[in-house]
């Protein structure tokens, strides 16, 4: 499981990058509001985040209507090669995702709370889907159980190699270089359905200006063709559960990521080692 940082704070991102285990960043309008910047500076801020981290950086649209979402998404995607556009899981968002993924722009569908929503995101070509764990807990539900249900449902299907049923079929390998895209079934009767844009993975829409961007951060790592980002993570326990249920990624607030590296027995162990080392200092 990869760790993304769920923040818009440049300081937090820079520090977390220095810890060496960060694979990406997710932001949203609330996280941006928290850094105290203005709407006018949003694009520049995303650019700065993208310069700090080499992995995918999710930047969210604020429009609610499909055409407007697509316009905003294209602007965001043009900011840096590692931008992933975050689109809300609505009907309008699905339509926007289909259009964006067909043109090679990687989409993270956010605010996912159910299996049907996650399946629709995969079908619309989303590269990532973000089920929210903590917000289920907030309303007295079990967020990690909900996450497990979504991961398990997606696991039943292979969105890389779609046939009419969507059920896992023959192997298709998406390589890092989209020029070298290879499928194991040369006589695929449904070539369009196997296109990377359809799968939500690396695009082969070679003539689109953003066509190669998804390839910049590698092929879709998940055998499902869509990666699950466990979001709305509130504590290290959520991280443990996300890993146990097989989420591809956990996007974690700075304070929680810090806690993930800490354990009281590690602290006690270090104190004991220091004490014993002192004993042998002048032995
Ligand atoms: C996901 O990408 C969101 O930014 C995030 O995880 C929201 O979490 P919250 O419930 O803590 O606001």
Q: Can you give the pLDDT at residue 217?
A: 52
Task: Output the residue whose Cα is nearest ligand 1's atom 12.
Answer: 232
Q: What is residue 175's predicted lDDT score, i.e. its pLDDT?
A: 31
- Rg of the chain taking only CA atoms, in angstroms: 20
pLDDT given for residue 101 in this prediction: 96
- How many angstroms separate the Cα of 218 from the Cα of each of 54, 63, 120, 136, 270? 11, 28, 23, 32, 39
Q: What is the pTM of this model?
A: 0.82
Distance 232 CA to ligand 1 centre (A): 4
Nearest CA to ligand 1 atom 10: 232
> Which residue's alpha carbon is at the smallest distance from atom 9 of ligand 1?
232
Ligand 1 atom closest to the CA of 30, numbered from 1: 12
List of the chain residues with pLDDT < 50 = 162-216, 218
Is CATH 3.40.50.300 the right assignment for the domain spanning 2-279?
Answer: no
DSSP string, the chain: -EEEEE---HHHHHHHHHTT-EEEEE--HHHHHHTT--GGGHHHHHHHHHHH-SS-EEEE----SHHHHHHHHHHHHTT-TTEEEEEESSHHHHHHHHHHHHTT--EEEEEE-SHHHHHHHHHTT-SEEEEBSHHHHHTTS-HHHHHHHHHHHHHTB-TTS--SS-B--S-EE--SSGGG-EES-TT-S-GGGGSHHHHTSS---TTSTTTTTGGGG-S--STTSSEEEEBS--SHHHHHHHHHHT-SEEEE-HHHHHHHT--HHHHHHHHHHHHHHHHTTT-
List CB contacts of 265: < 8 A, sequence separation 6 or more.
Answer: none
Tell me the C-alpha distance between 177 and 175, whole Å: 5
Domain residue ranges of the chain, discontinuous segments joined by +: 2-279
Strands 2-6 and 249-252 turn out to be: parallel
Q: Over the stretch 223-241, which tens digit does the pLDDT of each residue have?
A: 778 999 999 999 999 999 9
- Which of 13, 23, 28, 147, when mutated, tests ligand 1's pocket best, judged by the most ligand atoms within 8 Å of its CB? 28
Q: What is the pLDDT of residue 219?
A: 59
């Amino acid at each position: 499981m990869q760790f993304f940082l769920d923040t818009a704070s440049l300081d937090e991102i820079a520090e977390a990058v220095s810890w060496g285990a960060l694979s990406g960043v997710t932001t949203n309008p609330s996280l941006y509001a928290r850094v105290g910047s203005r709407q006018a500076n949003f694009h520049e801020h995303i650019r700065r985040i993208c310069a700090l981290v080499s992995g995918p950086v999710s930047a969210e649209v604020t429009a609610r209507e499909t055409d407007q979402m697509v316009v905003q998404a294209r602007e965001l995607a043009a900011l840096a090669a590692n931008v992933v556009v975050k689109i809300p899981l609505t009907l309008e968002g699905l339509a926007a995702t289909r259009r964006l993924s067909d043109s090679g722009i990687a989409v993270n569908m956010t605010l996912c709370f159910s299996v049907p929503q996650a399946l629709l995101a995969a079908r619309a070509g989303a590269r990532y889907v973000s089920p929210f764990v903590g917000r289920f807990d907030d309303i007295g539900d079990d967020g990690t159980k909900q996450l497990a249900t979504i991961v398990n449902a997606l696991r039943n299907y292979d969105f890389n190699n779609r046939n009419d049923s969507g059920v896992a079929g023959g192997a298709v390998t998406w390589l890092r270089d989209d020029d070298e895209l290879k499928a194991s079934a040369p006589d695929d009767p449904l070539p369009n359905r196997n296109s990377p844009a359809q799968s939500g993975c690396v695009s082969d829409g070679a003539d689109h200006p953003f066509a190669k961007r998804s390839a910049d951060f590698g092929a879709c790592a998940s055998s499902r063709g869509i990666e699950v980002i466990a979001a709305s993570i509130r504590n290290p326990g959520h991280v443990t559960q996300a890993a146990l249920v097989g989420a591809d990624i956990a996007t974690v607030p700075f304070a929680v990521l810090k806690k993930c590296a800490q354990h009281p027995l590690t602290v006690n162990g270090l104190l004991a080692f220091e004490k014993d080392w002192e004993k042998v200092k002048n032995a």
